[in-house]
């Protein structure tokens, strides 16, 4: 029988490394979730030497770094490694083990390679059984990694990935049962508190643009169809009863008066001539009644034209403030009979008009409290009572569909200047807080469901 040759030094080294692989696989299976990461980045050096190791997992922010129990996760090194791993994990070949160098990376990441890692690195993916990437073990050293190193790491990374998958499944299985009795009690109490807060009654309210408008306005209308010649008062000027407000163009009226006078004179002369002939002519006496009617008609026409001429100058029917926009808009403008040109209103008013958008409207009973916050003194609201709410909506001056609400100022409230703008707040009946907060989502849901 021939003697068996003793193993060489190289073979002994390979046997020791294989034995180390088996020991690490057994330790990885027995390690807890907190110990597994430390084992991967530190104990793997007993099989494949390296100077830097980092364990990166896509679903976790914290890195596990070799030689550091609690590394600074916001330090430059940890931030750069996360950038590197995130970039490489997004590539199509992320699940393949391969050598890395600065030349394999984009310029923004490669620029910091020399500051954080040695020249050579090895990308070791840890994949779940279904092929998803569970994490990456990044190893680095000054010398290039050999093919034998990659073979041993292939076996190790498979065991590491299985251990990671096992702890992930255990964590997911424990998640539904992780709530203790005390936590369940706290959640129930919080839920009851939310329900109780949602049931607290509060006064419903809405905010809308508001303006002080005339309480009993007196409209000033065109006395006949014509053209406005001049406006004799300034906007918002205070006038007395009988004061001239405006004048219509009288050119055509004066011509009609002259024509009517000539027609009346002609009728009078004709009537006088027939009256002289009627003394001796019976036929002339029969024409006198017809000519008298014609003369009376001309007198009536002249009186009508003269009355129109006298009304071309419109005066104020009562004391008040002349409310209109701009005199230049009316001068030379044709108007129809009865068309409103301006409004005479008391200098102060006790009526607040609100333009409530359709999206904000709610049900309010007459007499509901209203607060008016004027733009001049918003810190001094004025109390009022709701007296009117329009049935239908209309397009407001800002182009938004709105309902018109009117409120009467309280007797104790001071009169407000006409035209003062501000914000009105209308208060309604108490409602549960949850219902009031959900009124818009419920209205939108009702529109979607066509209810």
Closest CA to 156 of 42, 37, 40: 40
Region 346-432: CATH code: 2.40.30.170
CB-CB neighbours of 186 under 10 Å:
12
C-alpha torsion 172→176→180→184, nearest 10: 140
pLDDT tens digits along 233-282: 988 888 888 889 898 888 888 888 888 888 888 888 888 887 777 767 77
> CA 7: distance to chain centroid?
81
The full set of domain ranges for the chain reads 14-176, 218-341, 346-432
Q: Phi first, then psi: what are they for 176, rounded to 5°?
A: -65, -25
Residues 6 or more apart from 346 whose CB is under 8 A from it? 214, 215, 216, 320, 321, 418
Cα distances from 307 to residues 70, 300, 310, 312, in angstroms, run: 104, 10, 5, 9
Give pLDDT, residue 373.
92
DSSP symbol at 5: P
Contact status, residue 308 vs residue 223, Cβ threshold 8 Å:
yes
Per-residue pLDDT tens digits of the chain, which is 451 residues long: 344 445 555 555 666 777 767 777 777 777 766 677 787 778 787 778 888 888 888 777 678 888 776 777 788 888 888 888 888 888 887 788 888 888 888 888 888 888 888 888 888 888 777 777 778 888 888 888 888 777 777 777 777 777 777 766 666 555 454 445 677 788 888 888 888 887 778 777 888 889 888 877 888 898 888 888 888 898 888 888 888 989 888 888 888 888 888 888 888 888 888 777 776 777 777 777 788 888 888 888 888 888 888 888 888 888 888 888 888 888 888 999 888 888 888 777 778 888 888 777 677 778 888 999 988 888 888 989 998 888 887 877 677 788 888 898 888 888 788 788 899 998 877 777 777 777 777 767 766 776 5
Task: Quote the CA–CA distance of 79 and 98 in Å, as a whole number.
Answer: 22
Contact status, residue 46 vs residue 124, Cβ threshold 8 Å:
no
Q: Phi first, then psi: what are they for 235, rounded to 5°?
A: -55, 140
Closest CA to 245 of 143, 144, 316: 316
Closest CA to 384 of 425, 330, 356: 425
Residue 239: its H or E element: strand 238-239
Task: Quote the CA–CA distance of 295 and 53 in Å, as a whole number.
Answer: 124
Cα distances from 430 to residues 199, 300, 433, in angstroms, run: 11, 68, 9
Give pLDDT, residue 33.
65
Task: Quote the CA–CA distance of 428 and 364 in Å, as a whole number.
Answer: 6
pLDDT tens digits along 373-409: 988 888 888 989 998 888 887 877 677 788 888 898 8
Task: Quote the CA–CA distance of 315 and 244 in Å, as a whole number.
Answer: 4
Residue 296: its H or E element: helix 282-311
Give pLDDT, residue 450.
65
Task: Quote the CA–CA distance of 94 and 248 in Å, as a whole number.
Answer: 89
3-class state of residue 40 by DSSP: helix
Contact status, residue 226 vs residue 305, Cβ threshold 8 Å:
no
DSSP output for 244-275: EEEEE--HHHHHHHHHHHHHHHHHHHHHHHHH
Closest CA to 53 of 138, 115, 112, 116: 138
Write the burial class of residue 143 (CB in 10 Å: 0-12 exposed, 13-18 middle, 19+ buried). Answer: exposed
How many Cα atoms are found within 13 Å in the side-chain-facing hemisphere of 268?
8
Cα distances from 105 to residues 91, 102, 146, in angstroms, run: 11, 6, 21
Q: What does the longest C-alpha to C-alpha distance in the chain come to?
A: 187
Give pLDDT, residue 173.
53
Write the burial class of residue 301 (CB in 10 Å: 0-12 exposed, 13-18 middle, 19+ buried). Answer: middle
Task: Quote the CA–CA distance of 126 and 159 in Å, as a whole number.
Answer: 9
3-class state of residue 424 by DSSP: strand
Task: Quote the CA–CA distance of 374 and 413 in Å, as a whole number.
Answer: 13
Residue 86: its H or E element: helix 76-89
C-alpha torsion 262→266→272→274, nearest 10: -170
Region 14-176: CATH code: 3.30.450.40
Closest CA to 149 of 124, 177, 183, 114: 124
* Global pTM value: 0.44
Pairing mode, if any, of strands 133-141 and 52-56?
antiparallel
């Amino acid at each position: 029988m021939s003697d068996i040759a003793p193993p060489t030094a190289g073979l002994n080294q390979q046997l020791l490394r294989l034995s180390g692989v088996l020991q690490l696989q057994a330790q990885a299976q027995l390690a807890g979730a907190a110990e597994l990461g430390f084992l991967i980045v530190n104990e793997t050096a007993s099989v494949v030497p390296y100077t830097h190791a980092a364990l990166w997992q896509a679903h976790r922010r914290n890195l596990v770094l070799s030689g550091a129990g609690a590394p600074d996760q916001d330090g430059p090194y940890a931030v750069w490694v996360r950038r590197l791993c995130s970039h490489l994990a997004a590539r199509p070949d992320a699940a393949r083990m391969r050598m890395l160098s600065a030349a394999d990376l984009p310029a923004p990441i490669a620029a910091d390679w020399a500051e954080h890692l040695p020249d050579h690195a090895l990308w070791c993916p840890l994949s779940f059984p279904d092929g998803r990437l569970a994490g990456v073990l990044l190893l680095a050293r000054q010398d290039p990694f050999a093919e034998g190193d990659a073979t041993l790491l292939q076996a190790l990374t498979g065991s590491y990935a299985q251990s990671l998958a096992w702890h992930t499944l255990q964590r997911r299985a424990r998640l539904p049962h992780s709530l203790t009795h005390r936590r369940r009690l706290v959640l129930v109490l919080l839920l009851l508190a939310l329900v109780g807060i949602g049931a607290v009654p509060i006064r419903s309210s809405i905010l809308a643009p508001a303006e002080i408008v005339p309480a009993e306005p007196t409209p000033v209308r065109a006395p006949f169809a014509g053209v406005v010649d001049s406006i004799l008062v300034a906007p918002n000027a205070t006038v007395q009863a009988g004061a001239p407000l405006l004048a219509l163009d009288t050119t055509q009226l004066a011509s009609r008066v002259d024509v009517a006078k000539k027609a009346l004179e002609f009728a009078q002369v004709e009537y006088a001539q027939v009256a002289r002939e009627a003394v001796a002519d019976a036929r002339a006496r029969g024409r006198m009644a017809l000519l008298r009617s014609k003369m009376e008609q001309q007198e009536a026409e002249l009186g009508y034209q003269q009355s129109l001429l006298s009304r071309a100058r419109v005066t104020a029917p009562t004391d008040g403030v002349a409310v209109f926009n701009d005199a230049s808009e009316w001068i030379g403008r044709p108007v129809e009979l009865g068309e409103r040109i301006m409004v005479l209103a008391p200098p102060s008013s006790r009526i607040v008009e609100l333009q409530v958008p359709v999206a904000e409207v709610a049900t309010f009973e007459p007499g509901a409290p209203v607060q008016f916050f004027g733009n001049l003194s918003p810190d001094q609201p004025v109390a009022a009572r709701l007296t009117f709410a329009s049935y239908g909506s209309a397009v407001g001056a800002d182009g938004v569909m709105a309902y018109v609400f009117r409120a009467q100022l309280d007797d104790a409230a001071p009169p407000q200047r006409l035209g003062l703008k501000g914000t009105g707040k209308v208060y309604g009946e108490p409602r549960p807080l949850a219902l009031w907060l959900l009124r818009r989502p419920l209205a939108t849901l009702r529109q979607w469901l066509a209810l």
